[in-house]
Amino acid sequence: MTEKKRELPKLLGRILCLIGEHDYAVISVTFGFSIGDTVEKVECRRCGHRTARYSKED
Protein backbone atom coordinates (compact mmCIF):
# COMPACT_ATOMS: atom_id res chain seq x y z
CA MET A 1 0.00 0.00 0.00
CA THR A 2 1.55 3.26 -1.12
CA GLU A 3 0.79 6.39 0.83
CA LYS A 4 1.25 9.73 -0.92
CA LYS A 5 3.05 12.34 1.11
CA ARG A 6 2.00 15.94 0.68
CA GLU A 7 4.94 18.11 -0.30
CA LEU A 8 5.13 21.73 0.75
CA PRO A 9 6.18 24.39 -1.73
CA LYS A 10 9.96 24.88 -1.59
CA LEU A 11 9.79 28.44 -0.25
CA LEU A 12 7.49 27.48 2.61
CA GLY A 13 9.70 24.49 3.44
CA ARG A 14 12.80 26.67 3.58
CA ILE A 15 11.03 29.16 5.86
CA LEU A 16 10.12 26.29 8.19
CA CYS A 17 13.78 25.24 8.25
CA LEU A 18 14.82 28.79 9.13
CA ILE A 19 12.59 28.75 12.21
CA GLY A 20 13.82 25.29 13.24
CA GLU A 21 11.10 22.96 11.93
CA HIS A 22 13.20 20.52 9.92
CA ASP A 23 12.00 17.42 8.06
CA TYR A 24 14.50 14.88 9.40
CA ALA A 25 15.37 11.52 7.86
CA VAL A 26 17.47 8.99 9.79
CA ILE A 27 20.89 8.40 8.21
CA SER A 28 22.37 5.91 10.68
CA VAL A 29 21.70 4.42 14.11
CA THR A 30 24.40 3.49 16.62
CA PHE A 31 23.64 1.52 19.75
CA GLY A 32 25.04 2.76 23.07
CA PHE A 33 26.71 1.12 26.02
CA SER A 34 23.60 -0.03 27.84
CA ILE A 35 20.35 -1.60 26.72
CA GLY A 36 18.07 0.95 25.06
CA ASP A 37 20.69 3.64 24.40
CA THR A 38 20.82 4.76 20.79
CA VAL A 39 22.37 7.61 18.84
CA GLU A 40 20.72 8.51 15.55
CA LYS A 41 22.36 10.66 12.89
CA VAL A 42 19.63 12.59 11.09
CA GLU A 43 19.59 14.95 8.11
CA CYS A 44 16.92 17.42 7.00
CA ARG A 45 15.47 16.49 3.62
CA ARG A 46 14.91 20.13 2.67
CA CYS A 47 18.07 22.00 3.69
CA GLY A 48 20.63 19.28 4.46
CA HIS A 49 21.12 20.22 8.14
CA ARG A 50 22.68 17.27 10.02
CA THR A 51 22.55 16.54 13.72
CA ALA A 52 22.63 13.65 16.17
CA ARG A 53 19.82 12.60 18.49
CA TYR A 54 20.45 10.63 21.68
CA SER A 55 17.67 8.60 23.24
CA LYS A 56 17.68 6.50 26.36
CA GLU A 57 14.80 4.14 26.98
CA ASP A 58 14.12 3.27 30.61
pLDDT of residue 45: 92
Residue 17 belongs to a domain: no
Whole-angstrom Cα distance, residue 44 to residue 51?
A: 9
Residue 15 belongs to a domain: no
Angle at alpha carbon of residue 7, lines to 6 and 12, rounded to 5°: 130
Domain count, the chain: 1
The low-confidence residues of the chain, meaning pLDDT below 50, are: 1
Residue 36's domain spans which residues?
Answer: 23-58
Query: DSSP per residue over 1-58, as a string?
Result: ---PPPPPPHHHHHHHHHTT---EEEEEEEE-SSTTEEEEEEEETTT--EEEEEEE--
Whole-angstrom Cα distance, residue 21 to residue 17?
A: 5
